[in-house]
Structure 1
Amino acid sequence: MDCHTDWPEPIVRVQSVSESGAGLIPARYIKPQAERTCCQPELDTNLEPIPVVNLGDDDTSALSNACRDWGFFQAVNHGVSPELMRRTRELWREFFHLPMETKQAYANSPKTYEGYGSRLGIEKGAVLDWGDYYFLHFFPLCLKSHDKWPAVPVALRETVEEYGRELVKLSKRVLGLLSVGLGLEVERMQRSFGGEEAGVCMRVNYYPKCPQPDLTLGLSSHSDPGGITVLLPDNEVRGLQVRRGTGWVTVQPVADAFIINVGDQVQVLSNATYRSVEHRVVVNSKIERLSIAFFYNPRSDLLVGPMPELLSTNSLALYQPMTFDEYRLYMRKNGPRGKSQVESLKAI
């Protein structure tokens, strides 16, 4: 277990805690009663399905309705090779199974979060989530450094590059469909993201086995701060839960599908026509879980506010404009906190 003085406390890898064989989790991972889950996802029979959208049909109406109502959908016929999806997931699983000293060479800091990490937010004494992760940048190129990408497994860097290229294309398609769903030209939302200068990054989430899964969370409830998120789930283990009304729905992944959701920036740009929705991750006592979240975001220094075409005397701007650089500092400082950040931007 390694320590980094740029974090508020010594960093402890959750995987190390899990593999220690302890029957009780440390107090720093125990969530307040109101945030805990009532049961493990494998025992949850309330599996209301989130919408499934066939991107092979470019079904604008289905995608738009899903993002207005749920904020989430599962994308099938999306054009990304299932073999590439599986290869990417398994290479990252191999990385998390490497010796700890190998992974520690990539330990991250709060400055950029790039690398091997175990916490979000820098609040001293915060209750932590039960998960480790690996965060890396694709764009802008000034933030991208292969030195921060794992050199092992040997095929990982090349595979991640290919995966990134494919998911950038997919993200642009989704943005175009979201624009058309608002009655705008297909490129409108992409321009609001900075055109070809949109920001792209990825976080690989690793949730080790947990001896007391009912007391903690793999990732606390939050809405994503960025534009859109394309999630490659673990098809073998359920864990993602989406807020639906006053309750939670456990997502059952569709084979070879991506789970795509709207982030806070799209909620702001659409003046709340599309909704970023809270979600969280529950953990498992019997098996580990791995997922890969791909984030497609506005260029960090652009002011993001409701698009003028959507405003009128009967539809005023709901949010104050803010750059994504300013916006994401909230989560970097405080960690995941529901929808408190986007709510704080409300202008009326």
Structure 2
Amino acid sequence: MVVLANPVLDQISLIKSPDPGDYLSSIPTIDLSSSTSPDDIVRACKELGFFKVTNHGVSMDLVEKLEAEVVKFFTMSQSEKDKSGPSNPFGYGSKKIGMNGDVGWLEYLLIATSAEPFCESSIAFLRDPSSSSFRSALHEYITLMRKLVCQVLELMADGLQLEQRDTISKVVQGSECDEIFRLNHYPPCPLLQGFNCGLTGFGEHTDPQIISVLRSNNTSGLQIELSDGRWVSVPSDREAFFINVGDSLQVLTNGRFRSVKHRVVANSLKSRVSMIYFGGPPLAQRIAPLPQLMEEGEQSLYKDFTWGEYKRAAYKSRLADYRLGPFHL
């Protein structure tokens, strides 16, 4: 990667545009309305840590309504958006990602959806009476994301031949679960015109939670890393949700599932908006390989830790750090 010599970009790295062959031509697809084999979802989790779900039952009218509210927020004046500035670490932010020096060509709104009612949020925008339609769409969307996550995790349990279908899904259910909703906006960057490259929107990383569900507008930019180290672009799909295996799920399966490394690349022409739901367990939840999966004589690959301990460690790291490294045995 190189750096474009322009102080406006705050030393955000450039990423070479992918070659025509560097696109994920065949994305594992799980059709939730059919009798898709649970083996398919397990295979996707092992090989990529990434797949998409179709016929998920989430109304596209609702998705588009929430997306319109998100776009409305990001088109407000900068002074209005700044009133909802970051607060440990929730709220509005621009370019700076986390507290450890990571930057990207984006602005975002980060919401702790399980911590308190949206109308009582510490985020100023969500307390404003004018945001009632945003809150309503957000509440409905999050409710459906919880159901979708449970459905997907139960399919994973079936594929892993776990006796109880809720073995994994119950870990992300309940009022104490640590769920987060992230809204990202990647503006076009005219300074890139004429360059055969994109700009780092969100740097390479894995998600520390159990699972994450991504929806974006009809603009490409998402890339994932394959097991051989190659980066490939993921074609957008407005009708589907993309699922990422997180670090915690990798540990729960003792490395059988792969936590996918991914990044987002901004471009010079089109704005990209994405909405990501992160399903995490309670802070006190022990994260360790499921005993039901362990074969005779199999040893855990990881030290014992709680989600709260891992979350604190993740917050102290850089995006590209291998966060599970210190927890490996």
Q: TM-score, normalised by structure 1?
A: 0.83
Confirm or deny that 1:52 pairs with 2:29. Answer: yes
Residues 219-261 of structure 1 deviation map (CA, whole Å, 9 limit, x = unaligned): 11111010100001122x1000010122111111223100111
Q: 1:181 aligns with which of 155, 159, 162?
A: 159
Per-residue displacement from partner, 1:267-325 (whole Å, max 9, x unpaired)? Answer: 00011111111000001111221101101111112121111112234321111121222
Look up the SS of the partner of 2:16 in the other structure: coil
Gaps of 5+ in 2: none
1:201 maps to which of 171, 176, 180 = 180
Percent of matched pairs sharing the same residue: 29
Distance 1:328-1:57 versus aligned 2 partners, 3 A rule: same
The alpha-carbon distance between structure 1 residues 95 and 194, as it changes in their structure 2 partners (threshold 3 A), is closer
Cα distance change on mapping 1:189 and 1:144 into 2, 3 Å: farther
Segments of 5+ residues of structure 1 without an aligned counterpart are 1-21
Q: How far apart, CA to CA, are the structure 2 residues paired with 1:81 and 1:163? A: 9
8 A Cα contact 1:194 1:302, kept in partner: no
Deviation at 1:266, TM superposition (A): 0.5
Q: Distance in 2 between matches of 1:179 and 1:133?
A: 33
Select which of 71, 82, 86 maps to 1:104.
82
Cα distance in 1 for residues equivalent to 2:118 and 2:256: 32
Q: 1:127 to 1:297 in 2, by over 3 A?
A: closer
2:223 is matched with which residue: 225, 241, 256?
241
SS across alignment from 2:278: strand
Q: Is the 8 A contact 2:224 2:260 kept in 1?
A: yes
User: Could you report, residue by residue, the CA deviation over 1:75-108 in whole angstroms, capped at 9, with x for unpaired residues?
Assistant: 1001100111111112101100011121111101
Amino acid at match of 1:52: T
Q: Distance in 2 between matches of 1:306 and 1:143?
A: 34
TM-score, length of structure 2 as denominator length = 0.88
The whole-number CA distance in structure 1 between the counterparts of 2:249 and 2:35 is 19
Q: Closer, same or farther in 2 for the Cα pair 1:173/1:194, shift >3 Å?
A: closer
Match of 2:42 in 1: 64
> Partner of 2:250 in structure 1?
267
Q: How many pairs were matched up? A: 314
- The list of structure 1 runs, each at least 4 consecutive aligned residues, that deviate by more than 6 angstroms after superposition, is none
Q: 2:109 aligns with which of 121, 131, 134?
A: 134
Shift of 1:28: 3.1
Change (3 A) 1:195 1:101: closer
Deviations 1:33-76 (A, max 9, x none): xxx4211x6x7553223211101125222212111111111110
Change (3 A) 1:63 1:145: farther
CA distance in 2, matches of 1:53, 1:234: 20
Q: Tell me how far apart the structure 2 counterparts of residues 276 and 61 of structure 1 sit (CA, whole Å).
A: 18
Find out whether 1:344 has 2:326 as its counterpart: yes
Question: What pairs up with 1:12-27 in 2 under 5 angstroms?
Answer: 24-26=6-8
Is the Cα contact below 8 Å between 1:229 and 1:262 reproduced in 2?
A: yes
Q: 1:25 to 1:47 in 2, by over 3 A?
A: farther
Q: CA RMSD in A?
A: 2.4
How far 1:140 moved relative to its partner?
4.2
Quick check: which one's strand share is greater?
2
User: Contact conserved, 1:30 with 1:215, CA < 8 A, in 2?
Assistant: no
* 3-state SS in 2 of match to 1:230: strand
Secondary structure of 1:74's counterpart equals strand
